[in-house]
Structure 1
Amino acid sequence: MLHLYTDSSPNGFKVTIALEELSLPYSLHHVRIDEGDHQQPDFLALNPHGRIPVLTDSDTGVVLFESAAILLYLSERTGKLLPQNARARWEAIKWLQFHASSVGPLLGQRVYFELFANAPIAEAIDRYRNLTQEMFAVLDRLLANRPYLAGEDYSIADIAHFGWMHIAQIVHFDFSQYRHLSEWYARIGARAAVQKGITLPAPATGA
Structure 2
Amino acid sequence: MIDFYTWITPNGLKISIALEEFGLPYKTHAIDITRGQQFSAEYAAINPGGKIPAIVDHEAGLTLTESGAILLYLAEKTGRFLPREGAARHHTIEWLMWQMGGFGPTLGHAHYFLTYNQGRAPFAEELFRKDTVRLYQTLDGRLEGREYLVDDYSVADMAVWPWVSRFQRHGIDLGDFPNVCRWYLQLAARPQVKRGYEVPHFTGPVPLPPGV
Q: Fold conserved (TM > 0.5)?
A: yes
- What is the alpha-carbon distance in structure 2 between the residues aligned to residue 172 and residue 122 of structure 1? 15
What's the offset of the Cα at 1:167?
1.9
What's the offset of the Cα at 1:201?
0.5
- What is the alpha-carbon distance in structure 2 between the residues aligned to residue 119 and residue 172 of structure 1? 14
- What is the alpha-carbon distance in structure 2 between the residues aligned to residue 174 and residue 112 of structure 1? 19
Q: Deviations over 1:93-118 (max 9, x none)?
A: 10000000000000000000112238
- What is the alpha-carbon distance in structure 1 between the residues aligned to residue 58 and residue 71 of structure 2? 17
What's the offset of the Cα at 1:4?
0.3
Q: Which amino acid aligns with 1:6?
A: T
> 5+ unaligned residues in a row in structure 2: which ranges?
208-212
- Secondary structure of the 2:96 match is helix
Structure 1 partner of 2:9: 9
The 1:186/1:170 distance shift into structure 2, 3 A limit, reads farther
- What is the alpha-carbon distance in structure 1 between the residues aligned to residue 181 and residue 89 of structure 2? 24
Displaced runs of 4 or more, over 3 A = 169-173, 203-206
Structure 1 partner of 2:146: 146
- What is the alpha-carbon distance in structure 2 between the residues aligned to residue 95 and residue 125 of structure 1? 26
The 1:41/1:118 distance shift into structure 2, 3 A limit, reads farther
> 5+ unaligned residues in a row in structure 1: which ranges?
none
Structure 2 partner of 1:66: 66
What's the offset of the Cα at 1:85?
4.7
What's the offset of the Cα at 1:119?
5.4
- What is the alpha-carbon distance in structure 1 between the residues aligned to residue 30 and residue 187 of structure 2? 25
Q: Which has the higher contact order (CA 8 A, sep 6+)?
A: 1
Q: Which amino acid aligns with 1:89?
A: R
Contact 1:17-1:194 at 8 Å conserved across structures: yes
- Secondary structure of the 1:168 match is coil
Q: Which amino acid aligns with 1:166?
A: S
Contact 2:82-2:154 at 8 Å conserved across structures: yes
Structure 1 partner of 2:182: 183
Q: Which sits farther off after the overlay, 32-41 or 153-162?
A: 32-41
- Secondary structure of the 2:4 match is strand
Q: Which sits farther off after the overlay, 77-86 or 9-18?
A: 77-86
What's the offset of the Cα at 1:183?
0.4
- What is the alpha-carbon distance in structure 1 between the residues aligned to residue 141 and residue 177 of structure 2? 9
The 1:57/1:45 distance shift into structure 2, 3 A limit, reads same
TM-score by length of 2: 0.91
Contact 1:9-1:204 at 8 Å conserved across structures: no
Paired residues in the alignment total 205
Structure 1 partner of 2:210: none
TM-score by length of 1: 0.94
What's the offset of the Cα at 1:123?
0.8
- Secondary structure of the 2:16 match is helix
Once superposed, what is the RMSD of the aligned Cα atoms? Answer: 1.7
- What is the alpha-carbon distance in structure 1 between the residues aligned to residue 140 and residue 42 of structure 2? 42
**Is residue 117 of structure 1 aligned with residue 108 of structure 2?**
no
**Identical aligned pairs, as a percentage?**
37
What's the offset of the Cα at 1:174?
2.5
Structure 2 partner of 1:92: 92
